[in-house]
Amino acid sequence: MTGKRYKISIIGTGFVGLATGAGLAELGNEVICADVDRDKIDSLNNGYVPIYEDGLSELINKNRRLSRIYFTIDIALAVKSSDIIFLCVGTPSEENGEVDLSQVESATEDIGKSLDRYKIIAIKSTIPIGTLELMEDILKREGRIRGEDYDLAVVPEFLREGRAVYDFFNPTRIVIGADKEKVDKILAEIFLPLNAPIVHTSPVTAQLIKYASNAFLAARISFINEIANICDHVGANVKEVIEGMKYDKRIGGDYFSPGIGFGGPCLIKDLIGFIKMAEKYGYKANYLRSILEKNKQQTEYVLNKLRRLLGDSIKDRDIGVLGLTFKPNTNDVRNSLAIEIIRKLRENGANIKAYDPKGIEEAKKYLDGINLYNDIYETTENVDALIILTAWEEFKEIDLERLRSLMKNPIILDGVNVLDSKRFKSYGFIYEGIGVR
């Protein structure tokens, strides 16, 4: 993969920043990644990548050895060493659901103080309409003039956690929101080696593309959860319903996995942010609201299923939980519905034992007083029921004979439809999924 090489800085070295930085270094660019989190930078400089993503650690350490990627807490150094700045800081939700832009604001201030020549500031963070004006004001206060000292562009990120490295090198599309041809051309050149379709548009439209894409993914999940719940009630099998729908190209089968709902660091906060943004501009987005509402109901639906399986009471029952991360192949538990369900189970008086292949350390930050284990079988010993909350492949391989002998009651609630119901039933388990029995 060859293309024109650039000096690039990445501001904010989280999931997006690390994947982007590592990928751009692999393409031959000179990359310097900066973050305010000293521990993160120290561990990256010691060769330890603080997030679990398939292939990321290898990619970063390879490019460190080739002196194509550096890590620093010195934002000014990063800015000064680069021609193009990718802003990858977090944009979490505020209490009221609006987007918290404090990381964008402080990073912009730091960039403004350090600009030493014209640079492109390309924003990968998911930002609501109005953010560019906010950034421009901050940069103006630092004496920087748009067009002379810098230009802003929006390059939204579509990578999937758990597939970040793969997605960097195999993007479905690159969206470049720039209002100057020169800026658009340079950014397109950077991503040219990836051979992806490039959508050239305005910054505002690029922002909308990101929000609309996430809202659509959320809608698919809420839709199929609704169908799965109906399947439960009428005695149909949602897996077969999906099989029967997916051959219609207008529908397709991707991203149709019934379960506990959508969580994670992006979908919920971006959907709420989108709704709030629409309202701010005078439009009440009722359809988007219903997607969110459905998602909240799904957690209750799953809890009620468990309650029913346990004979109507969760209090003082011992529940084993498999899966804590918001999806498999990541250690990310931010906004994980597994964590929310555990909290609710505890509020209802249940005793929880839990296991996750990669998320235990992260989960400890969110769950106090929970027995977390490093092994499926320790977790399931003497439990009244087992609930599966993340679709890790590893759970498909459970030794059912051993499991059956360990559990107090053979009750399995598969909240993510990852297990083979027939196999479980053949070992005498009472199995329920979401829309499958």
Ligand X SMILES: NC(=O)c1ccc[n+]([C@@H]2O[C@H](COP(=O)([O-])OP(=O)(O)OC[C@H]3O[C@@H](n4cnc5c(N)ncnc54)[C@H](O)[C@@H]3O)[C@@H](O)[C@H]2O)c1
- The 3-state DSSP class for residue 125 equals coil
At closest approach, how far in Å is the CB of 301 from ligand X? Answer: 26
Tell whether residue 161 is a contact of ligand X (CB under 6 A).
yes
Residue choice 32, 75, 209, 363 for contact with ligand X (CB under 6 A): 75
Q: Does 60 bind ligand X (CB under 6 A)?
A: no
Is residue 33 part of the annotated active site? The answer reads no
91 binds ligand X (CB under 6 A): yes
The residue from 159, 268, 319, 324 that contacts ligand X (CB under 6 A) is: 159
Report how far residue 267's alpha carbon sits from residue 211's, in angstroms, rounded to the nearest whole number. Answer: 9
- Of 10, 11, 132, 231, the one binding ligand X (CB under 6 A) is 11
Q: What is the dihedral angle through the alpha carbons of 3, 8, 13, 18, rounded to the nearest 10 degrees?
A: 10
Distance CA 44, CA 72 (A): 9
Closest distance of CB 162 from ligand X, Å: 9
Nearest to 151 by CA among 113, 114, 188, 177: 177
Which part of the chain contacts ligand X (CB under 6 A), choosing from 30-38, 296-304, 341-349, 417-425? Answer: 30-38
Quote the DSSP letter at residue 259.
Answer: S
Under the criterion CB under 6 A, does residue 41 sit at the interface with ligand X? no
Contact region with ligand X (CB under 6 A), list: 83-91, 180-188, 411-419, 427-435: 83-91
Which parts of 175-214 interact with ligand X (CB under 6 A)?
none
- Indicate which single residue of 89, 135, 309, 319 sits in contact with ligand X (rule: CB under 6 A): 89
Catalytic hit among 33, 88, 231, 266: 266
Does 106 sit near ligand X (CB under 6 A)? yes
Token output for 308: 């029913």
- Rg over alpha carbons for the chain, rounded to the nearest Å, is 23
Question: Residue 125 interacts with ligand X (CB under 6 A)?
Answer: yes
**How do strand 385-388 and strand 411-414 relate by DSSP bridges?**
parallel
- List the alpha helices (DSSP H) in 199-357: 203-234, 238-246, 267-280, 286-309, 337-347
Which residue of the chain is nearest ligand X when measured via CB?
14
d(CA 332, CA 326): 7
Residue with tokens 């929880």: 352
Residue 305 CA to residue 309 CA, distance in Å, equals 6
- The answer to whether 69 touches 21, Cβ cutoff 8 Å, is yes
Of 326 and 429, nearer to ligand X (C-beta) is 326
327 binds ligand X (CB under 6 A): no
- By CB under 6 A, the count of residues binding ligand X is 29
Nearer to ligand X, 125 or 379 (CB): 125
Active site residues: 266
